Amino acid sequence: MEFGLFVQAHVPQHEIDADPENAEHERLMRELDLAIHCDRNGFKYVWSVEHHFLEEYSHISASEIFLPYLAAKTERVHVGSAIWNLTPPVNHPARTAERVAMIDHLTEGRFEFGTGRGSSSTEFMGFGIPDGATTKAMYDEALREILRMWRERRYRYDGEFFSMPERNVLPKPYSKPHPPMWVACGSPSTFEKAARLGLGALCFSLGAPKDFEPLIKVYKDNIKHAEPIGDFVNDNVACVTQLVCAEDGDEARDLACSMGNMYHTSLVFRYLDSFPRPAGIPEWPQTLPELTRAQLEERIRSGQRIVGTPDECAANVQQYADVGCDQIIFGVLASTQPQETARRSVELFGEHVIPRFDTDPVHSTTRMREAALASAA
- Mean pLDDT value of segment 60-70: 98
Angle made by CA atoms 160, 227, 359, in degrees to the nearest 5: 120
Pairing of strands 163-167, 155-158: antiparallel
Radius of gyration of the chain (CA): 20
Average pLDDT score over the chain: 97
pLDDT per position as a tens digit, 185-221: 999 999 999 999 999 999 998 899 999 999 999 999 9
Q: What share of the chain is helix, strand, coil (3-state, %, to 5)?
A: 45, 15, 40
Q: How far is CA 314 from the centre of its chain?
A: 21
Cβ atoms within 10 Å, residue 187: 12
- DSSP string spanning 100-133? HHHHHHHTTS-EEEEEE--S-HHHHHHTT---TT
pLDDT tier at 254, thresholds 50, 70, 90: very high
Rounded CA-CA distance 173/112 in Å is: 12
Smallest CA-to-CA distance from 324 within 182, 196, 225, 222 is with 222
pLDDT at 279: 87
pLDDT per position as a tens digit, 299-348: 999 999 999 999 999 999 999 999 999 999 999 999 999 999 999 999 99
Rounded CA-CA distance 356/173 in Å is: 34
Q: Which residues contact 7 (CB under 8 A, 6 or more apart)?
A: 31, 34, 35, 46, 47, 48, 49, 60, 66, 333
Does the structure show a pLDDT above 90 at 277?
no
pLDDT tier at 377, thresholds 50, 70, 90: confident
CATH numeric code, 2-376: 3.20.20.30
